[in-house]
Structures are given as structure tokens and as C-alpha cells.
Amino acid sequence: MQRDVFSAAVGAALGTGVQLLRPVHGGDVARAFRVRLDDGRHVFAKTHDDPPPGFFTTEAAGIRWLAETQAVPVPTVLAVSDAPVPLLVLEWIDTGVGVAPDEAAFGTALAALHASGAPCFGREDRRPTGSRQLPNEPCATWAEFYATCRLEPLTRLARDTETLDAVTCDGLDDIAARLDEFGGGDEPPARLHGDLWAGNRLVERTGRSWLIDPAAHGGHREFDLAMMALFGGFGTEAFTAYDAAFPLGDGWEERVALHQLAPLVVHAVKFGGSYRGAVVAAVASLR
């Protein structure tokens, strides 16, 4: 998409002119910018050259759903559109370079977010999320959701793309069929960010953490924590404070690899390399 077309669309959506678009790096799907407006504000705006249906409106709905709880700060949605110009405009968050996050405060806030709950596992609007548009059909149990909306579609994708060998894919199918054996599945659905790696946390100058780019849905709260542990970037104080505010179920440490399976397969499909080996190792540890 031409930059002037996007700039005009942002200005029209906000009712003001655009003075400057400055690229912001970090995402692997959308193109993002810091935008200076005629009225003096700075906002964050992003677009996508070929988005899946409902791409930005789904993300905006997820941000607003997280914001309802007032548990964890998320940027205010200022404008959103899927067509004719796909865009999402959010308030600008001033981050502090080298500022250490208040990890304990974040852990406590994340516990409050999860505890606010969700009406079902999945999403009532059934909108898919993430770069691979994973389904979010409403489910009554975590085992049903994780099997039918995460492990099974991801295993099919891994087979179709020949990302993973047949033995590993068979192992994923086996795990999906016996999720009830791993325990911890009797918890009610938590309100999840759904893609909680360190790149989706902004730390402002005060050390307060903000969450961006959610793949929000109702799920098992251990999923967000497993995602945090998978790629690092969160201090031990966050996990300690979380457990103090909302104690984790017995055996949660043994289920970390189980919850990491879904993001690992996604990354194996997208990037290959060492992620394939990570999936193989995780599957072997759970069989």
C-alpha cells in the first residue's frame, strides 16, 4: 500500500491531518508507524498489505476486551478498519529506554486479568486469531479447546507443509487425544492475552507494563505463563507475584511444555530451524 494512501486514511479516521509517518520496527506481519498529527498528537498506526478477513477489527476487539478489566494497561483503540484501507490506530505509549519493568506489579496485574475470566474457552464471536488464523470456536472445556482449536489444526498444517516428520505429527495427535491425563484442566476459562512474549509488552518510563498485539481468547491461564517462559524477557518476580496473587494448580511446572507446544509449532511452520527440534523435544517429553 502506498504511504500517502495510508496517511490519508489515518487522517480521515481521526479527523485531522498527518504531518509525518515514521516506521516502527518489531512486528513480522503488519507495517507499523509512529504518526505525528496536525493537532500535535503522536499515535501508533499499522497496516497490512493483504490481511486475512477481519484482521484488525479482531485485534481491536481483543484489546478492548482486555481493557474491560482495567487489570493490565493496554493502549486505547482510536480507529480501526479492515477495508478499504486496513488500519489500526492506537494511542502512543512512551517507552523508557533501559527502564527496568516492575515485574512484581506486572505479575499481580496479569493474575487479575486472568481471574476476570471469560465466557468460554475460545471466543464467543468465533473470530480466529494470530498470524496463522487459528480457530477460536467456543468450547466447554480446556481439553476440547486446546485439542480442536490449537493442536489438531497446527498438526495438520505441519503435515501439509512438511514442517515436521510423521512421527512427530503422530505424537502431537496422541497428545491431543489424551489431554485430560495431564491434569489442571478443571479450571474455568481465563481471560488471556494469547501471545504473551516479551515483544508484546511495552515498558513505559515509570516501569509500568503495557500489553499490545493480543490474540485474546478464553483459555487456560497456564498458557500465557508458558508463553512468557518460552522466549524469556520476564523476570522471576513476575511469576512469583502471580502465584502469590492467584496460586497456580498442582503440577503446573510439568505442564509448561504442554502449553508451549502450540506456539512452538507455529514458529516451526513460520521459521523452521531450531524450532523444529524444539517441537520434537517437547513431544518426546510428553509421550
Q: How far lies 141's CA from each of 42, 119, 160, 186, in Å?
A: 43, 11, 28, 8
| Residue 275 to residue 82: CA distance in whole angstroms | 32
Q: Which residue has the cell 515436521?
A: 164
Task: State the amino acid at position 30 in one-letter form.
Answer: A
Question: Would you give the distance in Å from CA 250 to the centre of its chain?
Answer: 25
CA distance 264 to 280: 10
The catalytic residues are 195
Supply the DSSP string of 216-270, one letter for each residue. Answer: -EEE-HHHHHHHHHHH--S-HHHHHHHHHHSPPPTTGGGGHHHHHHHHHHHHHHH
Find the distance separating the first CA and the last CA of the chain, reported in whole Å. 47
**Grid cell locating 157:** 498444517
